[in-house]
C-alpha cells in the first residue's frame, strides 16, 4: 500500500473531492486526520474510512480561523505523533465579478482559500520538517484562466498556485515537496450549488460544461483523488513546485 504508515491531514473531507481523497488514502493505508467545518458531514466520511479499516481522527474546525487551523495539527500529533502529508482541499466558492463583489466577499474567499490554507500549513510544517513530507494544495483550473463572474474565486486560486511555488522553495531544504492540482469541472455538491445559482437544470449545465473539456465529460472526485495520491506518495519523489491539471483537457486547447 502506497501510504502505509503515513499520517495525512486532509481538509474539507465532508463532501466531494475531499471525501474522495480521504477514501483513496484510506485504501492505501494512511492514518487520517479528517477536517471539515461541518461535523455531520465529517462524521459521515469518518464512518466510510473506518469501514475501510483506516485509523482516523476528526478535527472539526473552520480553517480560516487561526485556532481552528492550529487544532488540526494538534489533533494529528495527539492521535498519531506525526504529520507526513497535508492535503489543503477545503475551499470557499464565492464567485463574483469585481464590480459586484463586496469587501466581505473578498475576505471570505481569500480568508478560506488563501489564508486558511496558509494557516493549516503553518501549523503542520514544523511537524514535517524533521523527516520531510508532501503538501498538496487543491487549486483549480480557475486559477489560470478567466471565467465570467468568477473574479473572486479565480483570484484566490491564482494566489494559491503562486503560494504553492513559494512554499515549495522555502520547504525544499527540509525535503517537503509542495505541489498543487488544478481540477476542471468535477461533479460535487459545489457543482449543484453552481447549477442552482445559474438557474439551470442539471442536464442544461452538463451540456454546456462537458464539451469545454476535450474529453467531453465532467470529472469524478476519485479522478482528482488519484492525482492527489500520486503527488502525496513517494512515486512523486522528484516532483515539487508544479501544478497538475486534472481537467480533461479544458485548458489544453
Ligand atoms: N468541484 C469542482 O468542479 C472543482 C473544480 C476545481 C477545483 N475544485 C476545488 O476542489 C476542492 C474541493 O471542492 P468540492 O467541489 O469537493 O467542494 P464541496 O463544496 O463539495 O466540498 C468542500 C468541503 O469543504 C468544507 N469546507 C468549506 N469551508 C471550510 C472551512 N472554512 N473549513 C473547513 N472545511 C470547510 C465543506 O464543508 C465541504 O465539506 C476545493 O478546493 C475546490 O476549490 C473543485
Is 60 contained in some domain? Answer: yes
Is 181 contained in some domain? Answer: yes
Mean pLDDT of all residues in 237-246: 98
Instruction: Name residues whose C-beta falls within 8 Å of residue 238's C-beta, 6 or more positions apart in sequence.
Output: none
Mean pLDDT of all residues in 104-127: 99
Q: Sorting pLDDT into bands at 50, 70 and 90, what band is 212?
A: very high
Nearest CA to ligand 1 atom 24: 12
Is 167 contained in some domain? Answer: yes
Is 213 contained in some domain? Answer: no
Is 197 contained in some domain? Answer: no
Is 32 contained in some domain? Answer: yes
Give the residue numbers annotated as catalytic, written as ranges: 153
> CB of 34 within 8 A of CB of 13?
yes
22 CA → ligand 1 middle, Å: 13
Q: Show contacts of 40-48: CB within 8 Å, 24+ apart.
A: 40/14, 41/14, 41/15, 42/13, 42/14, 44/14, 45/13, 45/14, 45/18, 45/19, 48/19, 48/22, 48/23
pLDDT per residue over 182-202, tens digit each? 999 999 999 999 999 889 999
Helical pair 16-27 and 39-51, crossing angle rounded to 10 deg: 20
For ligand 1, mutation pick of 16, 94, 111 (most atoms within 8 Å of CB): 16
What predicted TM-score, i.e. pTM, was given to this entire model?
A: 0.99
Assigned C-alpha cell, 106:
473578498
237 CA → ligand 1 middle, Å: 27
Is 158 contained in some domain? Answer: yes
Ligand 1 atom closest to Cα of residue 111: 31
Mean pLDDT of all residues in 46-71: 98
17 CA → ligand 1 middle, Å: 7
Q: Sorting pLDDT into bands at 50, 70 and 90, what band is 66?
A: very high
pLDDT per residue over 22-38, tens digit each? 999 999 999 999 999 99
Number of domains in the chain: 1
pLDDT at residue number 25: 99
Domain that holds residue 36: 7-186+219-252
CA distances from 51 to 8, 45, 54, 69 (A): 18, 10, 7, 27
Is 208 contained in some domain? Answer: no
Helix or strand or coil: residue 89?
coil
Determine whether the shortest distance from the Cβ of 183 to ligand 1 is under 6 A.
yes
Q: At 57, which CATH number?
A: 3.40.50.720
DSSP-assigned beta bridge partners for residue 176: 133
> CB of 243 within 8 A of CB of 141?
no
Amino acid at each position: 500500500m502506497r501510504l502505509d504508515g503515513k499520517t495525512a491531514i486532509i481538509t474539507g473531507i465532508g463532501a466531494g473531492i475531499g471525501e474522495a481523497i480521504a477514501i483513496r488514502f484510506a485504501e492505501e493505508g494512511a492514518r487520517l486526520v479528517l477536517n471539515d467545518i461541518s461535523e455531520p458531514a465529517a462524521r459521515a466520511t469518518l464512518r466510510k474510512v473506518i469501514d475501510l479499516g483506516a485509523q482516523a481522527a476528526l478535527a472539526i474546525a473552520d480553517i480560516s480561523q487561526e485556532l481552528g487551523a492550529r487544532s488540526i495539527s494538534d489533533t494529528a500529533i495527539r492521535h498519531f505523533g506525526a504529520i507526513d502529508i497535508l492535503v489543503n482541499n477545503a475551499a470557499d466558492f464565492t464567485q463574483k465579478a469585481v464590480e459586484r463583489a463586496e469587501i466581505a466577499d473578498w475576505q471570505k474567499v481569500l480568508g478560506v482559500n488563501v489564508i486558511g490554507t496558509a494557516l493549516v500549513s503553518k501549523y503542520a510544517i514544523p511537524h514535517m520538517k524533521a523527516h520531510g513530507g508532501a503538501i498538496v494544495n487543491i487549486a483549480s483550473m480557475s486559477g489560470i484562466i478567466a471565467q465570467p463572474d468568477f473574479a473572486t474565486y479565480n483570484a484566490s486560486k491564482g494566489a494559491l498556485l503562486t503560494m504553492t511555488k513559494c512554499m515549495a522553495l522555502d520547504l525544499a531544504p527540509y525535503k517537503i515537496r509542495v505541489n498543487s492540482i488544478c481540477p476542471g469541472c468535477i461533479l460535487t455538491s459545489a457543482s449543484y450549488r453552481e447549477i442552482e445559482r445559474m438557474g439551470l437544470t442539471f442536464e442544461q449545465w452538463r451540456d454546456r460544461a462537458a464539451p469545454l473539456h476535450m474529453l467531453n465529460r465532467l470529472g469524478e472526485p476519485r479522478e482528482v483523488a488519484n492525482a492527489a495520491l500520486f503527488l502525496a506518495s513517494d512515486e512523486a519523489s522528484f516532483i515539487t513546485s508544479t501544478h497538475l491539471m486534472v481537467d480533461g483537457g479544458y485548458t489544453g486547447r
